[in-house]
Amino acid sequence: MTVRNTALVVALAALALAAQAQGFAKQAPVRLTILHTNDHHGHFWRNEAGEYGLAARKTLIDGIRAEVKAQGGHVLLLDAGDVNTGIPESDQLEGEPDFRGMSLLGYDAMAVGNHEFDKSPATLEQQRTNWSTFPWLSANIYKGGARAFEPYRVFHFGTLRVAVMGLTTDDTAKLVDRKKFPDVSFRSPIEEARRVVPELRKQADVVIAATHMGHYTDGRRGVNGPGDVELARSVQGIDVIVGGHSHTALCMKHENVRVENYEPGAGCLPDHQNGAWILQSGDLGRFVGRADGEYRDGKFRLMQYSLLPVNLRKSGAAEGPRIAEDPAMLALLEPFQQRAAAGLSMAVATTEGLFEGARPLVRARQTNLGMLITAAMVDKTKADIGLISSGGVRDSLPVGLVSYRDILKVQPFGNHIYVVALTGAELMDYLQFAATRTPGSGALPQMYGVRLLVEQGRLRQVEVGGKPVEPAATYRLAVNSFVAKGGDGYPDLSIHPSAVNTGYVDAEVLREYAASRKVLRAGAFDPSGVLVRK
């Protein structure tokens, strides 16, 4: 062998060793912790019990970041949408404290939720471009034939490349005000994912879908748009789905569960479909989801999962250790909280006549205030019927000027509005329970859009829109979240396949309804004939 050939062989061997070493380096395990939230709905400030809020959330997340960094890992912080609509203080300020707070917290990306379209186009752009330092992602929202938002973002953590794709429920088309957004369309998220995921697999080692589509057990979604389970089953190549929309605290026991690439530690098990882990952390910032994983040998493995409570209290006792509030976040948010509190005193509307909500009256019979509240629910959701239990009405609306604070005295609990599609037969069964609640109890219904006749404890006749109920027809019922979840003994409608938590807060719905009419006449909400007993 010549000297030249020997040198060539040595050089090629050196290159091979370098390439092999580089291959080993690429295969070295990389730790990735995914932190996630969803359906924040305006809860930037702690509630009256001292629960949640962005200041405590920041302390919790900063602590995890420091822990993971010390162990040589990386953190990705995602939100699955619906930052808007929920708390009066946030609603008054167009969500500014929420998005500015999330920016201070260091979110990496957010999926676009349906409630991001509750405001005007100008406000949406203000929130997205001026108050958010993180991208809003959605691959299936189009405007004028082009995508309206960034479809995905690729993040680099050392040698690890992580792609995050956004998807939004196509049900948004039914919920958005078309007068505000006439040229925006919501295409099938599954079809868009089928187009985008193959692109991402070429660009990234780990593919994450940040979705606002809902988790429905085993894909049973009823009348809702396709959710995360259907997405995972329909689209190959997604490693993790960080979801929202259904307000699900998705944290299952993992005893006797054997799933490839899961190495269970403390905590619980997310859903697992077609190779994709599906995560969701409830709502309102009550929990921060934590998924500790590792990328090695060409695969992402979930090592441990948990939902971390943010100063939650249950039956008067704390669910976990008290989390101190971050001083920098408090300094940012407190001026917003004070401004909003002052705004609660401003007049919303004027009443002509008393709207009766005093406990002895509202729990004894139908009242004009009960009619007003449920009429507002029907108007907002386009349901056929509105229903609440009388125990949720805590005060009357005064004669004359009515402020937002007056409305909050009537509905102080911050219940969301659910809409459920029931057959006529299902509706009759449900109303049989409602109509036979004992006068004087908090379960007595207040209703709008329906007339009931009860004879000797049995529901004999039901009219909706002035017509008898047809057993096979479909009717949309709006109820508050307390009643929807079985409060006051009502049947649990939240588990019905068609149930949708709209995210609308009852007090805000009433405020909006009152403000749009300016003058509320008590006589226009006469409840006579709504519930007749013989």
**Domains observed in the chain:** 28-339 (3.60.21.10), 346-533 (3.90.780.10)
Query: What's the chain's length in residues?
Result: 534
- 350-378: average pLDDT: 95
**pLDDT per position as a tens digit, 396-441:** 999 999 999 899 889 977 889 999 999 999 999 999 999 988 888 8
Where helices occur in 212-288 by DSSP H, the ranges are: 228-234
Mean of pLDDT over the chain? 90
How far apart (Å, rounded) are the C-alpha atoms in residues 151 and 439? 54
Burial 164-200 (b: 16+ CB within 10 A, else e): bbbbbbbbbbebbeeeebeebebeebbebbeebbeeb
Q: What is the CA radius of gyration of the chain?
A: 26
Q: Is 237 helix (H, G, I), strand (E, B) or coil?
A: coil
Q: What is the DSSP string of 498-521?
A: T-EEEEEEHHHHHHHHHHHHSEEE
Phi then psi dihedrals of residue 445, to 5 deg = -80, 150
User: What distances in angstroms separate CA 389 from CA 364, 409, 429, 435, one per listed residue?
Assistant: 12, 16, 17, 11
- 43-55: average pLDDT: 94
pLDDT of 293: 96
pLDDT of 256: 42
- Is pLDDT at 37 greater than 60 in this prediction? yes
**pLDDT per position as a tens digit, 318-339:** 677 899 999 999 999 999 999 9
- Is pLDDT at 529 greater than 50 in this prediction? yes
Q: What angle do CA 279, 281, 287 make, to 5 degrees?
A: 145
Identify the band that residue 5 occupies on the pLDDT scale cut at 50, 70 and 90: low
- 458-476: average pLDDT: 94
Cβ burial, residue 293 (10 Å; 0-12/13-18/19+): buried
- 442-455: average pLDDT: 94
The residue with tokens 């401003």 is: 346
User: What distances in angstroms separate CA 394 from CA 341, 349, 355, 405, one per listed residue?
Assistant: 20, 19, 12, 13
CA torsion angle 402 406 412 417 (round to 10): 0
What 8-state DSSP symbol labels residue 491? -
Cβ burial, residue 379 (10 Å; 0-12/13-18/19+): middle
pLDDT of 27: 63
- 465-477: average pLDDT: 96
Q: Is 64 helix (H, G, I), strand (E, B) or coil?
A: helix
Phi then psi dihedrals of residue 2, to 5 deg = -75, 165
- Is pLDDT at 9 greater than 50 in this prediction? no
- Is pLDDT at 395 greater than 60 in this prediction? yes
**pLDDT per position as a tens digit, 208-237:** 999 999 999 999 887 788 999 999 999 999
Least confident of 159-163, 264-268, 346-350, 513-517: 264-268
User: What distances in angstroms separate CA 330 from CA 53, 58, 88, 530, one per listed residue?
Assistant: 10, 10, 19, 48
pLDDT of 263: 46
**pLDDT per position as a tens digit, 111-170:** 999 989 988 999 999 999 999 999 999 999 999 899 999 999 999 999 999 999 999 999
To the nearest whole percent, how much of the chain has pLDDT over 90?
Answer: 74
pLDDT of 253: 64
Strand ranges inside 213-346, DSSP E: 240-242, 271-273, 276-279, 287-296, 299-309, 313-314, 317-318
Are the CB atoms for 74 and 295 separated by under 8 Å? no
pLDDT of 26: 52
How far apart (Å, rounded) are the C-alpha atoms in residues 80 and 402? 36
**pLDDT per position as a tens digit, 291-319:** 999 999 999 999 999 999 999 987 556 67
The residue with tokens 């307390």 is: 482
User: What distances in angstroms separate CA 85 from CA 91, 94, 97, 109, 404, one per listed residue?
Assistant: 6, 9, 12, 19, 15
How far apart (Å, rounded) are the C-alpha atoms in residues 96 and 98? 5
- 243-251: average pLDDT: 91
Q: Is 338 helix (H, G, I), strand (E, B) or coil?
A: helix
pLDDT of 254: 53
pLDDT of 255: 46
Hey, what are 278's tokens? 């599906």
- The total of other beta-carbon atoms located within 10 Å of residue 257's CB is 11
Full 3-state SS string of 168-231? ECCCHHHHCCCCCCCCEEECCHHHHHHHHHHHHHHHCCEEEEEEECCCCHHHCCCCCCCCHHHH
